[in-house]
Amino acid sequence: MAREYRSQSTRSLRRSEITNTTSSDTERERSTDTTTSSRFEMQSEISQILQEATDLGINSNVGYSKGGFTMNIAGSYANHRSKEDSMRQAVTQAQEITARALDRVVTKVHQERVEKMIEEFEENNTHGFDNRKGDQHVVGVYRWVDKLMKNRVWNYGKRMMFEFAIPQPSKLHLLAAASIKNTIDKPVDPRTAKDFTLADFSKISDDTVRYWSGFYNVDLELMKQTINLSLPISFTANEDGNGESELEEVAQGKFELEIPEGYSTTPNARIEAAIITKDGVDPGVATYITVGNVRHEMVFNSATQFRNLFSKKIENLSTYQNKVGVSFSSLGFHTGNINIDVE
C-alpha cells in the first residue's frame, strides 16, 4: 500500500569462551643422614710383688738339779722369700654406624576448565505508514496473510532386525586364508618380451602403446599430436582528449593463453586482427601485439582507411608450457578484434 514501510532485522550472536587452566607443582625432598661413631679403649695393668722375710731365733736354757748341772742351747733360723708378677691387658673396640635416608615426593596438579556460552537472538520488526511527505490521504484495504503449514505423518509399519554373532571371526578368516594357496604368475616384462619389445623410451610408439595397454587392460587416452589454441580479444578505445585527433584513443590489455597439460607450443602461430576507426586513420597510428617472445606492430599511414584487416604468420615462437603471455596496445583506433592462434 502507498506510504507503507516495513523492515525486519535479525541479529543472532553465539559466543563461546573456553578457558583451560592447568598448573602442576612438584616438590621433591631427598635427605641422607649418616652417623659413624668409633671407640677404641686399651687398658694395661702390670703388678709386681716381692716379699722377703728372715727369722733368726736362739734359745738357751741352764739348769741345776740334784742330778747335776744341765744346760740346753737351741737355735733356729728361717728365711722366707716370695715374688709375684702379674700383667693384665684389656682392649675394647666399638664402632657404631647409623644411616638414614628420606625421599619424599609431593605432586600437586590443579586443572580447571571454564566453558562459557552466550547465545543472543534479537528480531526487530517495524511496520507502519509514513505520509508526512504525501499530499493526499492514503486509503486502502490491508490484509494480513499468515502462512499455512500442512504436516503429514507416514506410518511405515513394523520392522524386523536380525543380528548374527560370529565367535572369533578373525580366527576363521585366518584358517580360511591358510587353506587357500594362491599362485601368482609373474607378469610379462615389456623390456624382454619377444613381441613389441620396449627396451627403452625410444621404442615407444602408437602401436606399442596400444598393444601393451590392451595386454594389461589399461584404458589410455591418447593425446593428439597437434592441437590449435585460440585466444579472441576485443577492445574499445578510451578517449582521453577532446576527440579532435585519432591519436587520443588508447587501448591496451594483457592476457594469458592456457596450454593443456602435456603440450608445448611450436614455433608456428598466427595473428589476425580487424581494427575499425570512425572517419579514417591518422598517419602514424599503430597497434602492437606481443605473443610470447614475438612482438609485431601494425602501422597505418593511410588517411582514408577506416576498416583495417591484418593477418600475420609467426614462425619463430619459443617453446612454452602451461601458458603463454599475450598483450596488445592500440593507438588511434576506436574498436577492434584480435585473434591469436597458437599451434
Please, what are the domains in the chain? 189-222 (no CATH), 229-342 (2.60.120.1620)
- Please report the pLDDT score of residue 229 as a whole number: 76
Residues 250-272: pLDDT tens digits?
A: 777 888 878 787 777 787 777 77
Residues 192-209: pLDDT tens digits?
A: 888 888 888 777 777 888
Please tell me what DSSP assigns to residue 257.
E
109-143 exposure pattern, b = at least 16 Cβ within 10 A, e = fewer: eeeeeeeeeeeeeeeeeeeeeeeeeeeeeeeeeee
Is the pTM of the predicted complex or chain greater than 0.85? no
d(CA 84, CA 66): 56
- Please report the pLDDT score of residue 62 as a whole number: 67
- Please report the pLDDT score of residue 301 as a whole number: 56
- Please report the pLDDT score of residue 65 as a whole number: 64
Q: Which residues of the chain have pLDDT under 70?
A: 1, 62-68, 142, 144-145, 220-225, 238-248, 274-284, 299-310
Question: 3-class DSSP state for residue 104?
Answer: strand
